[in-house]
C-alpha cells in the first residue's frame, strides 16, 4: 500500500479512494475564464485542480483562486524554480515540477521552501522532457529511461530529507506508460499520479486514456488520475469517472444505450447525453437503458434496473424489462429521474 499524502483538504494514497484531477486550460492571468473553469470542475466532481504557472503574475493569483474554491490548487512549474517558491508562499497546496528542466541546485531551494510550508511535491517526469544524459543513453524515452529519471530524482529528494512526494512518469505511448508505472509501483511506495499524457482530442484521447488508466487500476496501481484531453477540463473529469465506474472503483449510474438504426423513433443520443449530465454526481449504482424503439427496447434492456424508449412524442419507462409507465416524451427524463431517486 502506498503512503498517504495530504493535498489541501484531500488525501491520496494509503488505500483512499482514487482521486480525480484536471487542469485549467485558460491563461492563468485571465481571472474570469480560469475561475469559470475551476467552478466547472467543482460541479463536475473533480477532487484536485492544477493550474499552469508560467510567470509571477500567475503565481500571485493562486491566493485569489483558493479564496473562491474548495478544490486544492496545484501549481504546475517548469523551468523557473523561483515560480515554485513563490507559488508555495502564495498558498499552493502542492507543486508539480519536472526535474528534466530544473537544475538540482535550484530543486534544493524548492525542497527547503516546501518543507517550511509543509506541502507535497509531485515529481512529474514526461517522455517529452527527459534529462539529456538519460535520453542520450536510451536513444528514446523508453519505460526504462523514464524509470531511471524517477529513480534518480526520488533518491535526490530523499538525500535532501524530503519524502512528501507524489510520483508520475507519463508518455503519450500507452504501452510505455503502463510499463513504466509497473516499474515505479514495484520499487516505490509513494502515491502515484497516473495518466497518458497528451492523449489527444475526442475519441482518440478517450480511448488511449481508458486503456492506459484502467489497465493500471486493475493491477492496483494508481492513487490519483488525470485524463489528458484536448477538450474542456470538465470533460476530462467525466471520462475519469466513467473509467473508475467501469473498473468498479466508483459507484454511480451505468448508462447503456443502443447505437440507433432505422427503427429508432426518438433521439437516443440527446436523451442519453442529457441524462448523463443530470446524473453526473449521482452515487447510486443503478443501470439505466436508453433504447431507440419500443419493439426491442424493453427486451434488449431487461437486465437494466430501469430504462426508457420513445415513439411519436410518447416516452415509455420500464423496470427490469416490464413497461410501468407511459408519459409525454418531454417529461420522460424528469419522470425517469424521479423513479431512480424514489423507487430504486
Residue 289 pLDDT greater than 80, yes or no = yes
What is the reported pLDDT for 310? Answer: 78
Percent of the chain with pLDDT over 90: 70
First to last CA, the chain: 36
Query: Quick one: CA dihedral 280, 286, 287, 288, positive or negative?
Result: negative
**Segment 242-261 mean pLDDT:** 90
Task: Count CB atoms within 10 A of the CB of residue 164.
Answer: 17
Please report where in the chains the cell 523561483 appears, as a residue: 82
Rounded to an integer, what distance in angstroms lies between the CA atom of residue 122 and that of residue 35? Answer: 23
Q: Is 164 helix (H, G, I), strand (E, B) or coil?
A: coil
Torsion angle of C-alpha atoms 51, 57, 62, 67, degrees rounded to 10: -130
Query: Count of residues for the chain?
Result: 344
What is the reported pLDDT for 296? Answer: 61
Residue 294 pLDDT greater than 70, yes or no = no
What is the reported pLDDT for 315? Answer: 85
Residue 144 pLDDT greater than 80, yes or no = yes
Cell representation of residue 287: 443501470
Residue 298 pLDDT greater than 80, yes or no = no
Rounded to an integer, what distance in angstroms lies between the CA atom of residue 28 and that of residue 38? Answer: 11
Please give the order of strands across the beta sheet that includes 193-194.
165-170, 121-126, 94-97, 73-77, 48-52, 19-23, 224-226, 193-194
Please report where in the chains the cell 434496473 appears, as a residue: 305
pLDDT tens digits, 22-81: 999 999 999 999 999 999 999 999 999 999 999 999 999 999 999 999 999 999 999 999
pLDDT tens digits, 163-203: 999 999 999 999 999 999 999 999 999 999 999 988 778 88
Residue 120 pLDDT greater than 90, yes or no = yes
In three-state form (DSSP H/G/I as H, E/B as E, the rest C), the secondary structure along 228-249 is CCCCCHHHHHHHHHHHHHHCCC
- Superfamily designation of domain 254-342: Sulfite Reductase Hemoprotein, domain 1 (3.30.413.10)
What is the reported pLDDT for 295? Answer: 64
| Residue 303: HSE in the Cβ half-sphere, 13 Å Cα cutoff | 5
Rounded to an integer, what distance in angstroms lies between the CA atom of residue 319 and that of residue 302? Answer: 8
**Segment 141-145 mean pLDDT:** 96
φ, ψ (nearest 5 deg) of residue 316: -120, 130
Give the domain ranges of the chain.
5-246, 254-342
5-246 folds as TIM Barrel (3.20.20)
- Higher per-residue pLDDT: 222 or 271: 222
φ, ψ (nearest 5 deg) of residue 76: -95, 115
What is the reported pLDDT for 57? Answer: 98
Q: Which of 18, 13, 50 is nearest to 244 (CA)?
A: 18
Q: Which of 159, 148, 215, 155 is nearest to 190 (CA)?
A: 155
| Residue 98: HSE in the Cβ half-sphere, 13 Å Cα cutoff | 19
Rounded to an integer, what distance in angstroms lies between the CA atom of residue 229 and that of residue 209? Answer: 9
**DSSP characters over 274-294:** HHHHHTTT-----EEEE-S-T
Residue 297 pLDDT greater than 70, yes or no = no
Cell representation of residue 75: 501549481
Instruction: Give the Cα-Cα-Cα angle 319, 321, 327 (nearest 5 degrees).
Output: 55
pLDDT tens digits, 76-87: 999 999 999 999
Which is it for strands 19-23 and 48-52: parallel, antiparallel or unpaired? parallel
Cell representation of residue 268: 437516443
**Segment 96-111 mean pLDDT:** 93
Amino acid at each position: 500500500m502506498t503512503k498517504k499524502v495530504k493535498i489541501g483538504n484531500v488525501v491520496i494514497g494509503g488505500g483512499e479512494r482514487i482521486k480525480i484531477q484536471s487542469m485549467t486550460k485558460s491563461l492563468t492571468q485571465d481571472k474570469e475564464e480560469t475561475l469559470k473553469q475551476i467552478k466547472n470542475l467543482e460541479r463536475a466532481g473533480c477532487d484536485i485542480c492544477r493550474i499552469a504557472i508560467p510567470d509571477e503574475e500567475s503565481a500571485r493569483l493562486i491566493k485569489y483562486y483558493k479564496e473562491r474554491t474548495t478544490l486544492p490548487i496545484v501549481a504546475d512549474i517548469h523551468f523557473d524554480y523561483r515560480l515554485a517558491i513563490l507559488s508555495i508562499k502564495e498558498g499552493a497546496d502542492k507543486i508539480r515540477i519536472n526535474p528534466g528542466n530544473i537544475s538540482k541546485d535550484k530543486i534544493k531551494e524548492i525542497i527547503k521552501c516546501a518543507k517550511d510550508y509543509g506541502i507535497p511535491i509531485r515529481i512529474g517526469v514526461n517522455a517529452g522532457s527527459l534529462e539529456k544524459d538519460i535520453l542520450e543513453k536510451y536513444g528514446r524515452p523508453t519505460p526504462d529511461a523514464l524509470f531511471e529519471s524517477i529513480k534518480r530524482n526520488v533518491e535526490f529528494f530523499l538525500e535532501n530529507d524530503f519524502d512528501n512526494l507524489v510520483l508520475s512518469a507519463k508518455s503519450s505511448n500507452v504501452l510505455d506508460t503502463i510499463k513504466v508505472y509497473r516499474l515505479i509501483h514495484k520499487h516505490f511506495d509513494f502515491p502515484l499520479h497516473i495518466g497518458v499524457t497528451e492523449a489527444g482530442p475526442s475519441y482518440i484521447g478517450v480511448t488511449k486514456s481508458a486503456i492506459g488508466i484502467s489497465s493500471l487500476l486493475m493491477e492496483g496501481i494508481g492513487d490519483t488520475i488525470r485524463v489528458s484531453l484536448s477538450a474542456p477540463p470538465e470533460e476530462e473529469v467525466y471520462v475519469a469517472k466513467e473509467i473508475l465506474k467501469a473498473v468498479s472503483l466508483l459507484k454511480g449510474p451505468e448508462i447503456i444505450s443502443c447505437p440507433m438504426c432505422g427503427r429508432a423513433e426518438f433521439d437516443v443520443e440527446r436523451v442519453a447525453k442529457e441524462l448523463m449530465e443530470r446524473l453526473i454526481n449521482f452515487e447510486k449504482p443503478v443501470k439505466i437503458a436508453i433504447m431507440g424503439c419500443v419493439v426491442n427496447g424493453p427486451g434488449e434492456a431487461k437486465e437494466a434496473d430501469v430504462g426508457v424508449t420513445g415513439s411519436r412524442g410518447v416516452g415509455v419507462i420500464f423496470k427490469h424489462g416490464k413497461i410501468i409507465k407511459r408519459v409525454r416524451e418531454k417529461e420522460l427524463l424528469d419522470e425517469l429521474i424521479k423513479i431512480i431517486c424514489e423507487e430504486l
